[in-house]
Structure 1
Amino acid sequence: MPSQADKLRSLLEAEKLHVMPCCFDALSAKLIEQADFDLTFMSGFAISASRIGQPDLGLMSYGEVLDHLGNITQAVNFPVIADGDTGYGNAMNVHRTVSGFAKAGAAAIMIEDQLSPKRCGHTPGKEVVTREEAFDRIRAASDARKDGADILILARTDARHEHGLREAIDRATRFKELGADILFVEAPKTIAEMETICRELPGPKMANIVEGGETPELSHKELEDMGFAIAAYPLTLMASAMKAMMETLAKLKSDSDRTPLMMDFAELRDRIGFNDYYEQSSRYETSRRS
């Protein structure tokens, strides 16, 4: 059986756009897989909100993120790209983080060049480390792979915010030379900037589409024609779920009919996996008696 990293490598060989809804827990990852998407991304923004109820400002530890990742990868059978933030320390921490994420089943890990504690790429106050430190992070990630980690490296730069697009492109170009498989220049502000990224950077590129964020919200065809390999939607599911929950809570509080906002109970059980469990457990006599 091919590894999840191999599955992702095969996806990237196709010259097409892969639309990637981002998950925030094992259930949302299962729903993405059931909806026939090719892959998902474990969003740091989303898991910080769902696991600890806090903003994505570097509050979660490596151990918490690793535990969350393991729950997700065990629930699905398609590639999961995981947000490794800044690597949780110096270059040696990056090496450990990449190795740990690979063992947890991630197909790829994203490592970025923000100053720790990092911030969401579409919020104020972002700063990046020096070129030398940024390059050391990707070098350490590549070394972890040489040391046996079966995982792809998604290298992210947030340098556009402080230093302009040229610095971001220069950093991303060097990331590729150091072994990155996928390049991600965060938060371009115009279509022209997105076109420049695709024209000047080698290999697969990722676009990050945050509804209401700084990057233009282009159609899938426009992104594909531009040359992006992956379009990430980091908050689409979480924002939709939160809106639905707030509307349902309001209905419940006012004793109004909330069922139109809810998934049917039979479908809910099926999508969670009750029917699969019953089918499998029917093969075992002791399970039938329990």
Structure 2
Amino acid sequence: MTQAAQLRALLAQDKCHVMPCCFDALSAKLIAQEGYDLTFMSGFAASASRIGAPDLGLMSYGEVVDQARNIADAIPIPLIGDGDTGYGNAMNVRRTLRGFARAGCAAVMIEDQLAPKRCGHTPGKAVVGREEAFDRIRAAADERESLREAGGDILILARTDARHEHGLSEAIDRAARFAELGADILFVEAPKTVAEMRSICDTLPGPKMANIVEGGETPDLPNAELHDIGFAIAAYPLSLMAAAMQAMVTSLRAMRDDQRPGQMDFAELRRRIGFDGYYEVSEAYASSRRD
């Protein structure tokens, strides 16, 4: 089963999938090892991890696809890639779909923000006009069909940030049109209340994704409530990165005081990275065996 087919099967289930978001191959590997069904490469976290810079459109298409390729190669579960605005006009969107599919992604997110895009829960974001937004999803759907004809496959996660500037009604209207154009999953970013979240799910067809940023604008609800509202995916884009950063800062401060903070023991660290599996497989090859 392809990664895209795996994702379709998950979306057909009557549940809200908890989706911790990764930022590199190791964080994605840990997500898979802990039994989660899918993950998303958070643009916010990947930008912080790869270039040490905020998610303000600074990472290039090539850097993002390369990051996605490394992640997809490390895990057996479906990966959703962050395709931002598609990196240009409709033809760039088509290239983005093709690149993420070849990188091994099960789906790619395309949004209607004005480039350079911004994190959905930070100030200053704006969206393009309706027709340009629709062209992006139309182009994505056209490229998806071309990929299928060639034996490939990828899903489209269509995102709108129109709630911020134009209100919930405009955001829902845009998302509804995205669905008509062929989007597989809908994502209305940053609803501010539970009532708004319910309105999104009650109005729009197909699978919907909630984006839960701790301290962000969208209510952080229990998974059972998100499922009851109607969401198929609950994304947590910053949880792992925030935890990792806190652990590293704590360790660095302790080491400065000549202390040794609690940490994962060396044996488990090696196992999770893959040393034990490597040695087990390499025993079949004389030239690869350990001394």
TM-score with structure 2 setting the length: 0.98
Q: Partner residue of 1:211? A: 214
Q: Partner residue of 2:286? A: 285
Cα displacement (A) at 1:90: 0.4
Counterpart AA for 1:278? Y
List alignment gaps of at least 5 residues for structure 2: none
Residues 218, 289 of structure 1: CA spacing in aligned structure 2 closer, same or farther, 3 A cutoff? closer
Q: 1:12-91 counterparts in 2 under 5 A?
A: 12-91=11-90
CA distance in structure 2 between the partners assigned to 1:223 and 1:109 by the alignment: 22
Q: 1:151-166 counterparts in 2 under 5 A?
A: 151-166=154-169
CA distance in structure 1 between the partners assigned to 2:55 and 2:89 by the alignment: 20
Correspondence 1:106 to 2:109:
no
CA distance in structure 2 between the partners assigned to 1:251 and 1:125 by the alignment: 37
List alignment gaps of at least 5 residues for structure 1: none
Counterpart AA for 2:280? E
Which of 166, 169, 190 aligns to 2:172? It is 169
Which of 252, 256, 263 aligns to 2:255? It is 252
Cα displacement (A) at 1:3: 0.4
CA distance in structure 2 between the partners assigned to 1:195 and 1:64 by the alignment: 36
Cα displacement (A) at 1:109: 0.3
Cα displacement (A) at 1:263: 0.6
CA distance in structure 2 between the partners assigned to 1:67 and 1:98 by the alignment: 14
TM-score with structure 1 setting the length: 0.98
Q: The residue matched to 1:122 in structure 2 has which SS?
A: coil
| Number of corresponding residues | 287
CA distance in structure 1 between the partners assigned to 2:67 and 2:58 by the alignment: 14
Correspondence 1:267 to 2:268:
yes
Cα displacement (A) at 1:289: 5.6
Cα displacement (A) at 1:257: 2.8
Counterpart AA for 2:115? S
CA distance in structure 2 between the partners assigned to 1:160 and 1:32 by the alignment: 31
CA distance in structure 2 between the partners assigned to 1:63 and 1:257 by the alignment: 39
CA distance in structure 2 between the partners assigned to 1:14 and 1:287 by the alignment: 43
Q: Partner residue of 2:189? A: 186
Q: 1:123-134 counterparts in 2 under 5 A?
A: 123-134=122-133
CA distance in structure 2 between the partners assigned to 1:164 and 1:66 by the alignment: 32
CA distance in structure 2 between the partners assigned to 1:82 and 1:66 by the alignment: 8
CA distance in structure 2 between the partners assigned to 1:288 and 1:18 by the alignment: 41
Q: The residue matched to 1:147 in structure 2 has which SS?
A: helix
- Paired-residue identity, %: 72
CA distance in structure 1 between the partners assigned to 2:131 and 2:37 by the alignment: 35
1:127-163 deviation per Cα after TM superposition (whole angstroms, max 9, x unaligned): 0000000000000000111111410000000000000
Q: Partner residue of 1:150? A: 153
CA distance in structure 1 between the partners assigned to 2:290 and 2:256 by the alignment: 40
Q: The residue matched to 2:192 in structure 1 has which SS?
A: coil
CA distance in structure 2 between the partners assigned to 1:161 and 1:184 by the alignment: 14
Cα displacement (A) at 1:228: 0.2
CA distance in structure 2 between the partners assigned to 1:283 and 1:34 by the alignment: 25
